[in-house]
Amino acid sequence: MSTILVAGGAGYIGSHCLWLLRQRGYHAIAFDNLSEGHRAAVLGAPLIEGDLADRAFVVKTLREQKVDAVFHFAASCYVGESVTDPAKYYANNVATTLTLLEAMREAGVKTFIFSSTCATYGEPVQDRMDESHPQQPINPYGWTKLMVERMLADYSRAYGFQYVALRYFNAAGAHPDGTIGEDHDPETHLIPLVIRAGQGLNPNLKVFGDDYPTPDGTCIRDYIHILDLAEAHLLGLEYLRKGGPSTAFNLGNGAGYSVLEVIRACEKVMGKKVPYQMVGRRAGDPARLVGDARKAHSTLGWTQRFGDLSTIIQSAWKWHESHPRGFDG
Ligand code: UDP
């Protein structure tokens, strides 16, 4: 049986995708160096501990495990940190991915599902953010993901790689049964920080800016449930297996919520007040980012099962309530 290698399979998005693949009967294994991932997040799936930058080890793994497709989630993912420490991002996200692609080429594995981002678009220059929106990142994180998209396009033309790049808007929520969820250190994402503020574990929740040109002055984002994201990866693989041409897809709900709307929605789900403080803008935050995912719907047949914000927050709340210290308890 051929195997799917989930690089970064012990991380937030990778672990949910790994779970869904296995639940659907695919033979999928995790590859992770556990620098940011969690052993417990693979839920008993085979985990190969290793570094993607170790080309010889990756080639050996691809061969021994009879891998025929790689899902690549292993990356550094903090926009702010990418500005202060770009070297880390170019090393982890670009150089390491090049090593992975070269290992795949050596081992004859040519199918690649790539975790990309709406940060490759930069500041919106048109209302509809579909895949044809200009890609002009405004931070090194976005640049690193765009560079990999470029490499994939060139590898596809020159070496016959097949790939799907999935440009996520705001991944959020957790497995509905509460077994796996978001556990970043440090946590920078809004929904877990709001929930932790409601739990009394984050007394310093800050809302970054109330002077944006939006109805309540706070930034608007498009939150998409982690299992809906995962589903699109499986559909992307099947699309490539049926001979679909390599391409990129946006993954978002097409609905935008402001930071204050997210706080109110969390308060409602948790039945608790969330204390917060209004502070100045965070550098590099566009006012509104809402994705147009019609291409994923029409080409992949993708539909969301957990589309509305309160369902997303309920799943996150279940995870945080049962794991107040993340995977450590
Ligand atoms: N945000 C905030 N306070 C926080 C974290 C985030 O006000 O402690 C805002 C942030 O400015 C953005 C939105 O919440 O407008 C979503 O931020 P997040 O970091 O979750 O995702 P991003 O949109 O940066 O990928």
CATH code where residue 228 lies: 3.40.50.720
Residues 9 and 158 in one domain: yes
Q: Kind of pairing, strands 162-168 and 247-251?
A: parallel
Q: Does residue 77 belong to any structural domain of this protein? A: yes
| Domain at 313, CATH number | 3.90.25.10
Classify residue 211 by burial, with Cβ atoms within 10 Å: 0-12, 13-18, 19+. Answer: exposed
Q: Could you give the maximum distance between any two Cα atoms of the chain, in Å?
A: 56
Residue with token string 């109805």? 215
Alpha helices in 92-139 (DSSP H): 96-107
192 cis-preceded (ω within 30 degrees of 0): no
Among the listed residues 12, 121, 141, 163, the single catalytic one is 141
- 244 & 267 share domain: no
Same-domain check for residues 54 and 96:
yes
Active-site residue 141, yes or no?
yes
For 238, residues 6+ apart whose C-beta sits below 8 A from its C-beta are none
Ligand 1 centroid to 166 CA: how many Å?
20
pLDDT of residue 127: 78
Same domain, 40 and 116: yes
Q: What does DSSP assign to residue 273?
A: -
Which pLDDT score is estimated for 328?
85
Q: How far is CA 27 from the centre of its chain?
A: 21
Residue 307: exposure state from Cβ atoms within 10 A (0-12, 13-18, ≥19): middle
Claim to verify: residue 29 and residue 78 sit in the same structural domain: yes
Statement to judge: residues 135 and 274 lie in one domain: no
Global pTM reads: 0.97
* Domain termination residue (choose one: 236, 251, 266): 251
Could you tell me if residue 185 is inside a domain?
Answer: no
Determine the distance separating the centroid of ligand 1 and the alpha carbon of 225, expressed in angstroms.
16
179 domain-assigned? no
Same domain, 80 and 162: yes
Same domain, 33 and 123: yes
Place of tokens 């809402």: 290
Task: Please report whether residue 184 resides in a domain.
Answer: no
pLDDT of residue 54: 98
pLDDT tens per residue, the chain (329 residues)? 789 999 999 999 999 999 999 999 999 999 999 999 999 999 999 999 999 999 999 999 999 999 999 999 999 999 889 999 999 999 999 999 999 999 999 999 999 999 999 999 999 998 779 999 999 999 999 999 999 999 999 999 999 999 999 999 999 999 999 999 999 989 999 999 999 999 999 999 999 999 999 999 999 999 999 999 999 999 999 999 999 999 999 999 999 999 999 999 999 999 999 999 999 999 888 899 999 999 999 999 999 999 999 999 999 999 999 999 999 87
- Boundary-marking domain end, from 233, 251, 269: 251
- In this structure, the answer to whether residues 279 and 147 fall within a common structural domain is no
- Please indicate, yes or no, if residue 178 is contained in any of the structural domains: no
DSSP run (H or E) holding 220: strand 220-221
Helix (H, G, I), strand (E, B) or coil at 162: strand
Say if residue 319 is exposed, middle or buried (CB neighbours under 10 Å; 0-12, 13-18, 19+). buried
190 CA from centroid of ligand 1 (Å): 5
Tell me 119's DSSP state.
G
Ligand 1: residues within 6 Å at CB?
A: 79, 170, 188-190, 193, 206-208, 219, 221, 259, 282, 285
CA atoms 285, 323, 72, 249: torsion sign: negative
The SS3 assignment for 166 reads strand
Return the closest-CA partner of residue 327 out of 77, 43, 6.
Answer: 43
How many residues does the structure list for the chain?
329
Residue 177 in domain: no
For 161, the 3-state DSSP assignment is coil
- Residue 146 Cα, ligand 1 centroid: separation in angstroms? 21
Count CB-CB contacts under 10 A for residue 273: 10
pLDDT for position 284: 80
* Closest approach atom of ligand 1 to CA 190: 20
141 and 201 fall within a common domain: no
**Separation between Cα atoms, residue 7 and residue 140, nearest integer Å:** 21
The preferred substitution site among 83, 263, 282 for testing ligand 1, maximizing ligand atoms within 8 Å of CB, is 282
Tokens of 89: 């991002």
246 with 279, same domain? no
Closest-lying ligand 1 atom to the alpha carbon of residue 219: 15
Range of the domain at 70: 3-172+224-251
214 within domain boundaries = yes
Let me know whether 147 and 274 are in one domain.
Answer: no
Question: Beta-strand (E) ranges in 100-188?
Answer: 111-117, 162-168, 170-172
Which among 58, 21, 57 is positioned nearest to 42, based on CA atoms?
Answer: 21
Question: Does residue 72 belong to any structural domain of this protein?
Answer: yes
| pLDDT attached to residue 49 | 98
- Total tally of structural domains belonging to the chain: 2
